[in-house]
A and B are shown apart, each in its own frame.
Chain A
Amino acid sequence: MEIKTINTTNISTFFNQLVQSGKIVIAPVLKKSGKIFFERVQSYNQIETDYIQTAFSAKSVVFPKVEELFSYSKTTDNFETKQSLSDIPETVVWGLRPCDSAAFNYMTRFFMDENPDIYFATRKERTTLIAISCAKSDEACFCTSVGLDPGKTKGSDIQLTLMGNEYYVEVITEKGLSAIKTSESLFTSSTEKSKEKYLAEPTTKFSIEEIKEKMQNAYDNVAWGQESMGCVGCGACAFACPTCTCFDIQDEGTGENGKRIRCWDACGFSQFTKHASGHNPKPNQTARRRQRLLHKFKYSVENIGMVSCVGCGRCIRICPAHLNIFENILNVTKA
């Protein structure tokens, strides 16, 4: 790892040089609706710098909401399929939070561990993550409860931390090094410093070891009913979540030509587990909400060895019925 600093004037030059290098740069943008989204930008002055968290995560860079797997076409004597992996562009994600970078780590485990997914792999390979440590947090943030913190560098290629009028720059990976290569003169070499006093201190806290332990026997807890009563069964939480990776494969087209696509799916939908026979093993919202929470805190621990919640708080901020994953967890593990 290399440690550098860059002043706040040079940071915009660095950003604009990334754009000029021909890479697609995705960064937080404030929209008319007052919400902040990751969007492709052309210049530093388009981006939002004062935010706690974006409404949606940056997962669509490696796991798009709709992804073409291949297209097909048929002529009288020929049948052709076409994969467009080579069109996937080099992308830089700017300004994601440490929790989001950690989520990329989880997604890599999910998509790559057993049967490596070539679409994810290609996108991930061509993506550079430039994270910015959090100076502020709100009541929905709980990263420190799930083994992360507002300055954690896990998953990031470069991490920036604002310290007064300069950014402390941790260049963590080879990809990070190559991203600053053409802008080297903007940076000053530095030594390791403590980031602590510049970081946010999330106030919402639980003990993850205790929760993991109690989740083992939480399946039959009657509290699931009460905790999921407010759930209206939409997919907002799953779509905003940086670690929700469920998808649905669909064919769109005719016998002559069309495409196979992969779309986001969500365990909150009543159709999600419905069998062709008509039977639905998750027949109500209680069972669906329980699946979501147990997946995050029990099943993924068993399957991959890590909790698949990074405490970004997006599901809490986005829920139409204001369901709070944090409160839900505490209540279903009580007694």
Chain B
Amino acid sequence: MDTPDSPLRRQILRDALAGASALTLLPIADAFASSTGGDGIRLPTGDVHDFDIFVGRWRTQQRRLKERLVGSTEWIEFEGVQDFRLLLGGAGNMTDNLFQLPDGPYRGVTVRAFDPKTKSWAIWWLDGNRPHKIDVPVIGRFENGSGAFYADDKFDGKPIKVRFLWKDIKADSRRWEQAFSPDGGKTWETNWTGDFFRIAQ
């Protein structure tokens, strides 16, 4: 009767999670682990709590394509640390990132905000090397546990579509990918991936 699949159970869990986390009574992953066992987390489904399970400190393994939209297959690998916290009463969140690139540290901030009207998230990136510029946000939502977020932008003066993906989401790991499309979304070149591993709640 207390199966993790029961909708009522999920709702109770969700409410308990929201309440307990807001009061910082429980780390989020614990709230689920103790109730569902193993890796039984509530996957994001398109609501304001989609990113709650990302809260904490993460080590990240990053791979970045050396050159973009030229058919490059050469990747640069580096590590980083990310701190993730909620904002705006839970309707937003932000990350503080420090990547150790081969040629030196690279810093940036992500801000995300949820629009309850459209049930979608906007995600902005503030680049520590371009500190007076915030890119147009990628906008999207989670479905079936994965999130896809899109923007129209330019690369080398040419219009592109940008896509962020969040996938393989588990209590203590998750994957992010960035891809560009030069043909309106028909074909995509993934140029940056990040695998995240939890260090702390």
Answer yes or no: do A and B interact.
no
Interface residues, chain B, CB within 8 Å of chain A? Answer: none
Give chain A's interface residues, CB within 8 Å of chain B: none
